[in-house]
Amino acid sequence: MNKDNVKLAIAPIGWTNDDMPELGKENTFQQCVSEMALAGFTGSEVGSKYPRDPNVLKPMLEIRGIQICNAWFSTFFADGLKEKTIDEFVNHMNFLHAMGAKVIGCSEQSKSIQGTTKAVFEEKPYFSDDEWQRVAEGYNELAKIAANKGMQVCLHHHMGTGIQTTQEIDRFMGAVSDNVYLLFDTGHAYYSEGSQRAMLTILEKYLPRINHVHLKDVRDDVVAKVKTNSLSFLDGVKKGTFTVPGDGVIDFRPVFKLLDERGYKGWMVVEAEQDPAIANPFEYAVKARRYIRETAGL
């Protein structure tokens, strides 16, 4: 891949999990960002242990050669919480802008079961036509607000939410303006659709409108257990649904090839939530970095 176009980041979720704070509670912010740098990454997303004052956070990252490239934001448009969502979005955007980030990765969390004990496949939520309309209008509004700061909004399709499957991604992307982008997540696409082919189809279809990429690998045997035993999203994570690129079933070479051929410019973020007591975050960060060097030439 073209080194001038693509930068590599890693998410702090491998060190401490914001959805399950007991996972990695012993790992400090300083350890996390130091190990990211030591593993060879130049970017990071934002976790719950990160200082939220840019004046505090910036120097701590700069000394390690790390930039903030994005931070998760939850929207609740389908639930009708438009004003509250927009108010909180503006604060979030201003923080990211101060940190030098260009994209804002959002997830529509109305009715989401990703943080609950509900079975991730059987009990995922679905939106009504009215709810879809509220989501589309809301995201169009966010994109306009972000454009004033020279920033872009993207939707993170996610397991356990109303925008998870290929059909739901299609409906969302068809309903919003062209300045609303997609955060493409290899792990969530594979997990939801169950195949490499289906994951690549989403990537191929929306490449011109993908402005941020999450690189996660998946373990098929764990996904099978999640389905057989009707497990929740978080149960799956604890059992090891996700891992870093090169450690699961996904072949990332065609992913890198497609991104390169279409001239993708932006960040690729290794984001693989595991139990750090089982999967040492530094070791797995090094493993991911080595795999990307070998397969993408980055």
Its sign, for the CA torsion 127, 131, 133, 136, is negative
Q: Is the pTM of this model over 0.75?
A: yes
| Beta carbons within 8 Å of 189's beta carbon, 6+ residues apart | 157, 166, 198, 199, 202, 203
pLDDT in tens, the chain (298 residues): 999 999 999 999 999 988 887 888 999 999 999 999 999 999 999 999 999 999 999 999 999 999 999 999 999 999 999 999 999 999 999 999 999 999 999 999 999 999 999 999 999 999 999 999 999 999 999 999 999 999 999 999 999 999 999 999 999 999 999 999 999 999 999 999 999 999 999 999 999 999 999 999 999 999 999 999 999 999 999 999 999 999 999 999 999 999 999 999 999 999 988 999 999 999 999 999 999 999 999 9
CA 56 to chain centre: 24
Q: Where are the domains of the chain?
A: 6-296
pLDDT at residue 128 in the model: 98
CA 208 to chain centre: 18
- β-partners of residue 6 are 266
Alpha carbon distance 207, 123 (integer Å): 30
Alpha carbon distance 252, 245 (integer Å): 7
Alpha carbon distance 142, 147 (integer Å): 9
Rounded-to-10 torsion of CA 194, 200, 9, 173: -100
Q: Which fold has domain 6-296?
A: TIM Barrel (3.20.20)
Tokens standing for residue 233: 């999203």
| Beta carbons within 8 Å of 122's beta carbon, 6+ residues apart | 230
Tokens standing for residue 98: 């101060």
Alpha carbon distance 217, 247 (integer Å): 7
